[in-house]
Structure 1
């Protein structure tokens, strides 16, 4: 009886092994940040799993990879990220990947002409000692702020569409047998993105002339695309508190009612926002540039854009 069981076991094992050889290889996709994961999930839906490195609640500006993260990057069949000016933590592991597995959005030829300049460092602390300390901290941990361009590329519907096309192309190389499904996924993504874009344009048009302050300089692509009128930002680098002069400038504009909203972020809820807004009529809202409460799915990127639009509209409208 034991002999039969063993033979059955070996037969089943051999059968499972043979079956596994005939199946297409699974091409796991790893994205650096959640919004890139949203785009990848739309294209890879029903084809291959998508994983995100940056945990919810963490900031892309100062994340440090764990050993398990490095293993995930090495084992991935495709890694999607913006570039070293945004995710400094990705620079070394991405450099070790073969070109076919490394999709760096910022260096794509179609994306380069669409990049916009980053904000000037006009909001560093005022006194020399703080300035020196801030710059040392900046140099150590936040290299992306010293780049020429704003690298929050996933906030551009136009660039995100190009990223989707590029992900589709990479997965097609890896999994040509899934061409029909990948093609259908890309077509659906482009169609839903176009519909969502029209809806957001209509939603934000009535508030396009209302001034507001965001916590950090992340939203330029979204704001330009939808014609919004930002009054400014508290800081370029979310890890460094703005200086007294900067806060005075912002408070003056709030007192003079030149802005109707100030926006915090889920990852950054600094006391300076409450302090500057105290005693004024300005409303306080929250913008989530990473979609922390949205799960990866085929529709998650358009949900992310719609959520962000709703966050703007709600505060600017006074809802």
Structure 2
């Protein structure tokens, strides 16, 4: 019996030993996952969040490919990210309409941080139908990150939100926010100098996505081909645009990576207008902490190269 008892004792000791090791491993794993899991919809917002979460965790980017947020559809891999999220950061249904329902269902336990609510008090939280989208989007340019001033507000508010769900890293979030605000201020000064020579230049944009940029840097309000990229201009609108191009002596028109060039070609027809691409969400910019600064710098370069042609009039 003694050998048998000895074997039993050894087995019990073995179970207890590995149970302890397993428990310590699980504890260590839990500690490693203590940082908040943050999902961000768009690359420029993701860049701001990545800076604020520096040395803490890496946020997940939801829209990674060169698709317009207006026309995206939720994929299984994106749904998994939302399901695991502690916080979801997005503009709101006026821009990423495909996220409106998933955020309420898949991510219902996560903090739902809609950046758009920081800058408007009369947001509609329903998803517009295609036949009403023009009136829904009117005066609702939701590309708020294109204003450096608003980007600094966004960074500060994100740090506040993160500090609430992860108070142990609150000081670091706030410290990182201060760093990126200083960096945005330096960018702001540089772009102000670059844009100052184009304040009286007229130009055309495909859709109303740049008011936060143009108004902040004192550019003229552009002629807008369509209020929303999902609404194509009709024949009457095209004729009025062509008339405006001639009257205002416009020599520069801007399209976007997701917009087919022939749509602007139809408007411009044989008029002497140069077409340049603007990329407000950074579809061609690598994601990461530097993406926001590259996006705004690229916009300034594109504006400068195209608007310089107006100086030849």
TM-score relative to the length of structure 1: 0.81
Match of 1:112 among 105, 120, 123: 120
- In the alignment, the residues of structure 2 paired with residue 144 and residue 152 of structure 1 have an alpha-carbon distance, to the nearest angstrom, of 17
Which residue of 2 is the match for residue 195 of structure 1? Answer: 186
Following superposition, the deviation at residue 11 of structure 1 comes to: 7.1
- Equivalent residues in 2 for 1:22-101 (5 A)? 22-23=31-32, 25-96=34-105, 97=107, 101=111
Q: Does structure 1 residue 301 correspond to structure 2 residue 288?
A: no
Following superposition, the deviation at residue 312 of structure 1 comes to: 0.8
- In the alignment, the residues of structure 1 paired with residue 222 and residue 138 of structure 2 have an alpha-carbon distance, to the nearest angstrom, of 22
Pair 279,185 (structure 1): closer, same or farther in 2 beyond 3 Å: same
Following superposition, the deviation at residue 10 of structure 1 comes to: 7.0
Which residue of 1 is the match for residue 3 of structure 2? Answer: none
- In the alignment, the residues of structure 1 paired with residue 23 and residue 85 of structure 2 have an alpha-carbon distance, to the nearest angstrom, of 27
Stretches of structure 1 lacking an aligned partner (at least 5 in a row):
117-134
Pair 304,295 (structure 1): closer, same or farther in 2 beyond 3 Å: same
Match of 2:147 among 129, 135, 156: 156
Q: Does structure 1 residue 281 correspond to structure 2 residue 272?
A: yes
Following superposition, the deviation at residue 92 of structure 1 comes to: 1.6
Following superposition, the deviation at residue 37 of structure 1 comes to: 1.2
Describe the superposition over 1:256-314 as per-residue Cα deviations: whole angstroms up to 9, x where unpaired: 56212011100112313123334333221111011112223223212221111111111
Pair 273,177 (structure 1): closer, same or farther in 2 beyond 3 Å: same
Following superposition, the deviation at residue 169 of structure 1 comes to: 1.1
Which residue of 1 is the match for residue 131 of structure 2? Answer: 138
- Equivalent residues in 2 for 1:214-233 (5 A)? 214-233=205-224
Pair 12,295 (structure 1): closer, same or farther in 2 beyond 3 Å: farther
- In the alignment, the residues of structure 2 paired with residue 91 and residue 263 of structure 1 have an alpha-carbon distance, to the nearest angstrom, of 29
Following superposition, the deviation at residue 47 of structure 1 comes to: 1.3
Stretches of structure 2 lacking an aligned partner (at least 5 in a row):
1-10
Q: Which has the larger radius of gyration?
A: 2
Following superposition, the deviation at residue 149 of structure 1 comes to: 2.6
- In the alignment, the residues of structure 2 paired with residue 17 and residue 159 of structure 1 have an alpha-carbon distance, to the nearest angstrom, of 42
State whether residues 145 and 237 of structure 1, in contact with CA within 8 Å, keep that contact through their aligned partners in structure 2.
Answer: no
Which residue of 2 is the match for residue 261 of structure 1? Answer: 252
Q: Does structure 1 residue 103 correspond to structure 2 residue 113?
A: yes
Q: Secondary structure at the match of 2:191?
A: helix
Deviates more, 1:249-258 or 1:165-174: 249-258
State whether residues 225 and 233 of structure 2, in contact with CA within 8 Å, keep that contact through their aligned partners in structure 1.
Answer: yes
RMSD: 2.9
TM-score relative to the length of structure 2: 0.82
